[in-house]
Amino acid sequence: MATTLETFTAGVETAVDVVAVERQLHELWRLAAESESGQVTRACLFNLVAYAETEEARDHATNVISELTSRDPCRAIVLLAKPDQPVAELSASITAHCHLAGGGKQVCCEQISIEAAGASVEHLASTVLPLLESDLPTVVWWPGNFLLRPQIFTRLGAVADRVLFDTSQWEKPAEHLGALSKTIAAMPGCNFADLSWTRLGLWRKLAAEMFDEPHCREELTRLNSVEIVHGCGPGASLRALLYGSWVASQLRWSPADVKTRVRLQARDDRDATSVGILSVTLRSDDATFLIQKKHGERTATAKISMPDICGLPRTRAFWPADDTSLLSQELDHTQRHVVYERALALAAQLAGNQ
Amino acid sequence: MPDRSQSTNPLREGIVSRRVAEPCAIVIFGATGDLTHRKLVPALYNLAHEGQLPSGFAVVGFARRPKSHDEFRAELREAVVKFSRFQPINPAVWDAFAQGIFYHPSEFGDADGYTRLAKFLQQLDRERGTAGNRLFYLSTAPTEFATIAGQLGASRQTGNARIIVEKPFGRSLDTAHELNATLASVFDEPQIYRIDHYLGKETVQNILALRFANEIFEPLWNAKYVDHVQITVAESLGVEGRGGYYDQSGALRDVVQNHMMQLLALTAMEPPISLEAEVIRDEKVKVVRAIRPILPEQVAQFSVRGQYARGSMAGKPVDGYLNEKHVAPTSRTETFVALKLFIDNWRWAGVPFYLRHGKRLPKGVAEIAIQFKAPPSVLFAADCASPLMPNALVLRIQPDEGIAIRMNAKVPGTALNIQPVKMDFRYGGSFGTRSPEAYERLLHDAIAGDATLFIRSDETERSWQIMDALLEGWKTAPPPFAYESGTWGPPEADAFIERDGRQWRRP
């Protein structure tokens, strides 16, 4: 099918020769600039390389990118790798994600989809590298376990400024925490972000905020336990472990203390919020700091109980975090997650694989 | 303001958010008014929604009309449903927020009302943990400011307190000075927060980021490279039922003295040594102090006034200013003003700053345009049909916030044809996120005690000094020039800038 400006900006995928991708895109944007309406603007702030190994994961990535580009315009390169296929094949297609901006104008971003099968998977990185927009950061979004594909990951990771992954989607993630921690430490030039950690952002913020209040700050050094009640949904226990490790590592609890002070408790609740944590209780001898989320309610409440304190709960909105909003949050954050790395190292110890 | 809490709160490390403000009670004077319903309470609810309010928090509405707490809460709920940027509102967040809303009926001048208020606030300290911390918001007519401040002083409620004052901060140097003196007799200057909502706009704050976070602009930001600066704040609306107020005020007092002088100060200021409130405010004041005074006899040379006449807006006929309700039929109040100001300092010597504001202009727009000097034409003059356009950098404040750069490029072809092209950055295209409302940012800052985005007394007074001379000169000058509604002001405004060999931009 011939690619026209209309089909391109309407989000229809059109197959193109892998070597002709750049030329084809250039031609389409030229047509857009010269169109009578002049209503299409191309925007691009970074390269986003998404990696998938199933059609379902590829389609999910495309849907997320379609939403994401309304807030974070980028050149998206979506890779579908099928290394187990017997025949080597490499194909490409292009499309655009367009969003209405002010004045009836459309802001559009291009997506290049590349599918590699069999031995061609080994050449994926060499296909991607020339397609990266120059002078813009490159973000690799690899939801699965990249430790299992060292050959491709090493080449893509070498050009990435950031790698976004999601241990919640890994099989038996606790078994890989040690290797993950070492891989991250071995790549100091690249910022890694685990969406499991991103999901904990509001929970960490709520805990931190309780100790912003001056009368509570002194209690921080007196905290002697953290109890995390978590659901049984995918990744919930891992996130609880990361959260407990975060508290312990930030408060500099000794390794001996950590095992007795960090308590994780599973409750049979699949928790639709995708965070998986149901409550967190931090305790000192005199005070209790409780964060709670009611199932099905889009709010979280933080309550402090200590002598001479009014103790009114603080209620704030707490919205479900889908992949689009998680990615968007991470794209706002450009620094290395040193706090995560510290918590991860401790979590790996606690999980017994480091 | 830098967040110092991290050093004492290790759980804050790596969390990118401002710390929660300290417990506080906000008392809004004029709580039944439009500003409270449209802006203040929706902004506070938005802060609650995002978890930026402390647990010990209360809002007390202070107004004349008798009303119960619940009636007040119900009114505010309607306002929040209508004006909050979070839609639909979150019932649980609202319920928790509404539990801290109270109403206190009293006349502004009734001493007993303030004694009762003090007792009520003490009760809230115990019941809601507001810890004696007060924020008084004067959302009333300016004529009430002195009365309210005096009563707060007399009832000894100014200790651990800040007061927010809405513009206008006086209507002349004398009245501004008088207002400042009244407030200063009760509050110390660091306790006084003069609010100009323009400073809460993201794009206005971005002026500092653009200038000082980009190495490519600052070296050119001076008289050597800049030919002139145009600051435009255009409104498409007329006085819209505010004729009584506006006729006593006019364009200069209503917009130029505050919003436009802030834009000018941020555009022209020197790099501050830090982002602390006093440091930034010091630099802004230096700019205003360096503005060359316009003597009353010079007003025709440095200003043009206009008044909108009949015309049409968006294809519909509209009446002129003199036909507006509550406007005197012989009014000489200006609805349009164009000014030429010079900043007599090292950086800006000889660079005119043209300010233009008016009502019933073709569209509502606010922008700052830095017009650079024309490049030497020796290279292309012989071959190009028209002279090269100088470069321009345009900061669009509203709508369609963004930054555009105009530069020259060769038109493809065998002939040497050079034309201006525009590189355009739009916030909407790059950052799709919805910005917080200006009042959200400003209220959070005031609760947190950060005065960076508020105006200091010396800045308002110096600004009024410049305006006073213009107002004085206009008293004996011919009346404002009429301009057709829906046009860019009177033809005399075009002639005014064309005398200098320049032209107004068409935003």
Task: Tell me the per-residue pLDDT of B311-355, one tens digit each, with 9 for 90 and over.
Answer: 988 778 899 999 999 999 999 999 999 999 999 999 999 999 999
Picking from A211, A304, A329 by the largest number of B CB atoms within 10 A of its own CB, the best residue to mutate is: A211
pLDDT digits (tens, 9 = 90+) for A281-308: 999 998 999 998 876 678 888 888 888 7
Contact B55 A103 (CB under 8 A): no
> Which residue does chain B place closest to A44, by CA atoms?
B430
CB nearest B9 (choices: A72, A217, A313): A217
Within 8 A of B19 by CB-CB distance, chain A residues are 209, 212
Per-residue confidence (pLDDT) for residue B1, from 0 to 100: 38
In DSSP notation, A149-191 reads: -HHHHHHHHHH-SEEEE-GGGSSSGGGGHHHHHHHHHH-TTSE
Q: What is the pLDDT of residues A177-230, one digit of tens each?
A: 999 999 999 998 899 999 999 999 989 999 998 888 777 888 898 999 999 999
CA distance B239 to chain A (A): 26
Residue A240 has pLDDT above 80, yes or no: yes
Q: Do A314 and B92 touch (CB under 8 A)?
A: no
Note whether A298 contacts B: Cβ–Cβ < 8 A: yes
Task: Over range B141-169, report the average pLDDT.
Answer: 90
Catalytic residue ranges of B: 259
Three-state SS annotation for A284-303: CCCCEEEEEECCCCCEEEEE
Q: Enumerate the residues of chain B whose CB falls inside 8 A of the CB of residue A71.
A: 431-433
CA distance to partner chain A, nearest, from residue B431 (Å): 5
A70 and B86 in contact by Cβ < 8 A? no
- The alpha-carbon gap from B426 to the nearest alpha carbon of chain A, in Å, equals 10
B-chain residues near A340 (CB < 8 A): 14
CA distance A340 to A239: 12
A191 Cβ contact partners less than 8 Å away, ≥ 6 residues apart:
A161, A162, A163, A334, A335, A336, A337
What's the N-to-C CA distance of chain B in angstroms? Answer: 34
- Span A31-36, mean pLDDT? 76
Q: Which of B287, B393, B395, B394 is nearest to B341 (CA)?
A: B287
Instruction: Chain A: give the shortest CA distance to residue B435, in Å.
Output: 12
Q: Which of B403-412, B452-461, B473-482 bottoms out in mean pLDDT, i.e. has the lowest?
A: B403-412
Contact B214, B297 (CB under 8 A): no
pLDDT value for B50: 87
pLDDT band at B429 (very low <50, low <70, confident <90, very high): low
For residue A1, the model assigns a pLDDT of 46
A53 at B interface, C-beta within 8 A: no
Whether residues A314 and B53 touch (CB distance < 8 A) is answered with yes
Predicted TM-score of the model (pTM): 0.82
Taking only residues 109 to 128 of chain B, the set having a beta carbon closer than 8 angstroms to any beta carbon of chain A reads 126-128
Contact of A313 with chain B, judged by CB distance below 8 Å, is answered with yes
Report the gap between the CA of B425 and the closest CA in chain A (Å): 9
- Which of chain B's residues have a Cβ under 8 Å away from the Cβ of A204? 11, 15
Interface A:B, Cβ pairs < 8 A: 121
